[in-house]
Amino acid sequence: MKIVILDGSAANPGDISWKALGELGEVTAYDITSKDQLIDRMKGAECAITNKTVFDKDVFDKLPDLKYIGVLATGYNVVDLDAAREHGITVTNVPEYATFATAQHTMALLLELTNLAGLHSASVMDGEWCKCPQFCYFKAPLTELFGKTLHIIGLGKIGKRVAQMASGFGMTVTATPHDRSLIGTVVEAGGTGVRCLDLEEGVRSADVVSLHCPLTDDTREIINKDSLSLFKPGAFLINCARGPVINESAVRAALDSGLLGGYGADVVCVEPMLEDNPLKGAPHCVITPHIAWSPVETRSRLIDMAAANLKAFLDGNPVNTVT
């Protein structure tokens, strides 16, 4: 089988191996593939491995040998699934490979907002501690998480892992789950009891709100001017879900006014970030470039799971199919 990896540099910039896929066929790996390059690079290939390279309906007629598309991600919106079905092409994704890493990154963003480690480290490296008459100094107020309330929007595997980690800091954890029938119940999450509340009640009582929901019609801009008006003054907001689950202009206004004490995110509405993104340069704002999924161990797991998906397809028993 001829296997073409179309945009491999995100998952593997050279620090891990494609060996697991190489054992299943002849692999050609490209760092990035533009729309104009896609057809030429896929000629004669039965298998495409993609992360962000788009397979829209126009390309399928031009790739008669294509039998399988493996998406190197959990989300698979880069593939026109209806067109794939029409052409008999199996499409798979890799679910839940980044649960631990994403929960860890969520806490890293929160801790950066509460402890300001980066701000203080930069000041030390700039020589401020050397000039300080006291043994310590504070560039801005720090926040203790013990006794605070964390409200999670979306209580899947990542949300439950975050709940477990937050509980370890002595936080009370509540959540608005996707399954609204759970409202009013207590859900167990790794030994932590999470009380399920509707969105309004949950954000009103929270010191921290953390987003872990998929992007759907119901969750698009779930955090907006109206929902932000319910927040406690000075509350923190964390987004390791998808950029469009918030209204970025509304969040910027809340940061400027002080309604939000801080915003930490690993995602924005348009990626890579645009120069005119309203959050660029915002106060009390920490944004990382969509890296929650990218520890070495996590990316290695991703490639191994993608290879397992392809092997299952070749064995006639496909798994993690989305078509």
- Please, what sign has the CA dihedral across residues 225, 229, 231, 236? positive
290 in active site: yes
Q: Number of helices and strands (H, E) in the chain?
A: 11, 13
Hey, which bits of the chain come out as E strands?
2-5, 26-29, 47-50, 68-71, 90-92, 149-153, 172-176, 186-189, 192-196, 208-211, 235-239, 260-265, 285-287
Choose, from 151, 212, 242, 252, the residue flagged as catalytic: 242
Torsions phi, psi for 220 (to 5 deg): -60, 125
3-state SS string for 71-92: ECCCCCCCECHHHHHHCCCEEE
d(CA 135, CA 124): 12
Query: Does residue 242 have an active-site annotation?
Result: yes
For residue 49, which of 35, 23, 28 has the smallest C-alpha distance? Answer: 28
Q: Are strands 186-189 and 68-71 parallel, antiparallel or unpaired?
A: unpaired
Q: Which of 120, 252, 290, 299 is catalytic?
A: 290
- Coil, strand or helix at 235: strand
Tokens representing residue 300 in the block: 């290695």
Nearest to 197 by CA among 189, 188, 206: 206
Backbone angles phi, psi at 209, to 5 degrees: -115, 130
Angle between helices 157-168 and 99-115 (to 10 degrees): 40
Which phi and psi (to 5°) does residue 68 adopt? Answer: -150, 135
Q: Is 178 a catalytic residue?
A: no
Among candidate residues 144, 188, 271, 297, the one labeled active-site is 271
Cα 121 to the chain's mean position, in Å?
Answer: 26
Of 216, 268, 272, residue with least CA distance to 242: 268
Catalytic sites, residue numbers? 242, 271, 290
